[in-house]
Amino acid sequence: MPSSVSIYDSAAIDRLRAELKFEPRRLRALRTVYFKKFLGNEAALAELPEEVREPFAQRVVFHPLAVAESADSQLDGATKLVLRTTAGYAIETVIMRTGTGRVSLCVSSQVGCAAACGFCATGQMGVAKNLTSAELLDQVVLAGEHMCNEERAVRNIVFMGMGEPFHNEAAIYEAITALLAPELFHYPPRRILISTVGIPDAMLRCARRFPALNLALSLHSARQATREKLIPLAAKYPLDDLRAALAQLHEIQRQPVMIEYLMLAGVNDSLADAADLAAWLEGLDVHVNLIPYNSIAAVPNWQTTERPERDAFATVLRKAGFVVTIRYSLGADIAAACGQLVQTENRQLAQQQAMSAQ
């Protein structure tokens, strides 16, 4: 039996075309329908000469992920897709329809996350498994097919779902290469954003490879001790190193980096915290995005900063000359808002698989 080939493995698909002996323009047409128009595999196959449709379909795996569930928010324009990998893990992808009519997609980079930030539900899962580039890209295609029914398209892709993208660097770069490729998705780099817990070397590697791609840093505090309390990995990647990396990023990219700042009442939201943040950011090309905290069951005692305090915090930064925006998370009622993505069943599955591997 000849082995099967992923539609996301371009080189293998090219070889299969040569083997089945059909014209390159037919494959280009198939790719346009599948990767740019998101009309699905049946419509894509219809672009092939009739005699190779069946043999091609038998050899190609179109979707490494299966849609297990799709939930629409009753509050706002969010849809959460729960997708299952062939290994049986469930991951989440969130479609966000904003008030302006633009659609953004929040893609997961891992099953769980090793960063284990105390405020984030994904970090509490106790699992961290890398997704393959095919699994990363299939999230974009499945969401694209979902939006096709509404005759809308995903405009922005943000790697802000479950996981730490830079703990899965190789697959992320492979996926981004495909997202940018003219013959595949052909997304403009400015519409793609990677959000990281803050791994300086990886941020620089990413910027060198994809200079026009947007980067976001989850800073959450400009005080080393506070940051370590929130983000265990902060001890390994200290603030001084991050600041040096941000300065270097500017040399490479010449475009602002997004600084994400989670607002936690009594933890990192005082006016003194704001002043420290402004001082730390001085001279850097950044845009500050303040994130209201979405509570999660694991840490019921943490609260978000109330609006008056949040506005006062933003004012300190604006007076210091920074552009500040407030993030409005969508999908709180379907557990799709920032920090709420979790599939606890994955923990059990990981344990079972580890035991059977012994």
Would you say 34 or 119 has its CB closer to ligand SAH?
119
CB of 47 to ligand SAH, least distance (A): 37
CB of 144 to ligand SAH, least distance (A): 22
Taking a C-beta distance cutoff of 8 angstroms, is the pair 191, 156 a contact?
A: yes
192-196/156-159 β-pairing: parallel
Using alpha carbons, list the distances in angstroms from residue 156 to 62, 149, 177, 318, 349: 23, 18, 16, 26, 32
Would you say 171 or 338 has its CB closer to ligand SAH?
338
Q: Does 338 qualify as catalytic in the annotation? A: yes
Would you say 119 or 237 has its CB closer to ligand SAH?
119
Report how far Cα 283 is from the mean position of its chain's Cα atoms: 28
Would you say 13 or 215 has its CB closer to ligand SAH?
215
Taking a C-beta distance cutoff of 8 angstroms, is the pair 5, 19 a contact?
A: no
CB of 193 to ligand SAH, least distance (A): 10
Structure tokens at 312: 């006062």
Q: Does 92 qualify as catalytic in the annotation? A: yes
Q: Which of 106, 113, 117, 338 is catalytic?
A: 338
DSSP string, 129-161: EEPPHHHHHHHHHHHHHHHHTTT----EEEE-S
Buried b / exposed e over 297-333, threshold 16 CB at 10 Å, is eeeeebebbeeebbeebbebbeebebebeebebbbbe
If one counts every other C-beta atom within 10 angstroms of the C-beta of residue 15, the result is 12
- Whole-angstrom Cα distance, residue 146 to residue 140? 10
Which parts of this chain interact with ligand SAH (CB under 6 A)? 115, 119-120, 160, 164, 195-197, 218, 260, 262, 291, 293-294, 296, 338-339
Q: Which of 47, 50, 92, 117 is catalytic?
A: 92
CB of 258 to ligand SAH, least distance (A): 9
Would you say 103 or 231 has its CB closer to ligand SAH?
231
CB of 296 to ligand SAH, least distance (A): 5
Q: Catalytic amino acids?
A: 92, 338
